A = this chain, B = another copy of it.
Amino acid sequence: VRHAVILAGGSGTRLWPASRRAKPKQLLDVAGRGEPLIAGAIAIGRAIAGERVAIVVGESQVEATRSVARDVRLIPEPLARNTAAAIGLAAATIRKDDDGAVLAVLPADHHVADRPAFESLLANALAHAESTDDVVTLGITPTHAETGYGYLEVGALDKVGPQRVVRFIEKPDAARARELVDSHRYLWNAGIFCLTARRLLAELDAHLPTTAHAVREIAAGRGRAVDLFAALPSISIDKGVMEKTDRIVAFPADVGWNDVGSWAALAAVRGVDASGNTIGGTAVVVDGTGNVVIGDDATLVATVGVSNLVVIKSGDAILVVPKDRAQDVKKVIDMLGARALARYL
């Protein structure tokens, strides 16, 4: 039967200072909907799999995740070993009780504007995975020449339904991204997959045998999980499995998807006001456009004469960065660690 597997392993430093070690991105109300991102993933999981929703989560996040996902099964990762190990662990654990399990694998920290359309596509993808035993990925129809995502090469995008994935493309530079989007033969790789647990484990047997062994041992209750994971390579499901199998098809998905990979993405997720600014909390923007300005309940943020700037107040820290350099928040993270200011991480 159908299961939803939500991957909640990310640390989400790219949304610092809202995201912290103790509160990664999926636990934040990034979209301003009054719920954390992971609640959206859980709602989607419930819609397609009923009670059979599981979250794979790092040991250190179990408690915080439990507090926002009370009735959901948590599968703790003994160590962070990237998505191949995380999904493998979920597949082996779920298959123990359901040999015919088919899984929809969803990131915990993405935002989907059109949930009904997304759920409908996922249902189709699950049905296709059940009937063909192929790997089915939802490839996002590109809306612009994004350099921050990997791409999937497929046939022409005007074809309806599943299309063979010819190739995975790494994050391209700007010129290449433009080419890819203009050719109408590429989708964004959003890391959303549907496949049977049996197929996933067979692929791991073929391409990552130590991972396949480790997750079966852990699911069977044999060996120390942390030791088994410690010996595994840290490799993504894309690199470790998807790029290697030839049994993979994509469903094009045009569902308002956003990975909220930086503060710059907030404009798309939250929308802009009449002045072209994205405002949260108590904020006043004078003479400027294209800004993302998020205060918190306690603090007013006022900007004058700045445009395309990100200003975030969250807890005990404030970040100011141009929108086109929003990825560079990691430089702050690095510097705080180096300067004995790690309490702000």
Contacts and interface: CB of A to CB of B under 8 A. Distances in A.
Interface in A309-345: 309, 311, 313, 316-322, 325, 328-329, 331-332, 335-336, 339, 341, 344
Contact of A317 (B300, B320, B322): B300
A315 to B, nearest CB: 9
A318 B328 contact: no
Interface residues of A, number: 35
Contact of A321 (B304, B317, B341): B304
B321 A301 contact: no
A52 B107 CA distance: 73
Oligomeric state, in copies: 2
A60 interface: no
A284 B335 contact: yes
Interface of A: 17, 282, 284, 286-287, 295, 298-306, 309, 311, 313, 316-322, 325, 328-329, 331-332, 335-336, 339, 341, 344
30 contacts: A17-B302, A284-B332, A284-B335, A284-B336, A284-B339, A284-B341, A286-B331, A286-B332, A299-B316, A300-B336, A300-B341, A301-B318, A302-B318, A302-B319, A302-B332, A302-B335, A302-B336, A303-B321, A304-B321, A304-B325, A304-B328, A305-B321, A306-B309, A306-B321, A306-B322, A309-B320, A311-B318, A311-B320, A318-B318, A320-B320
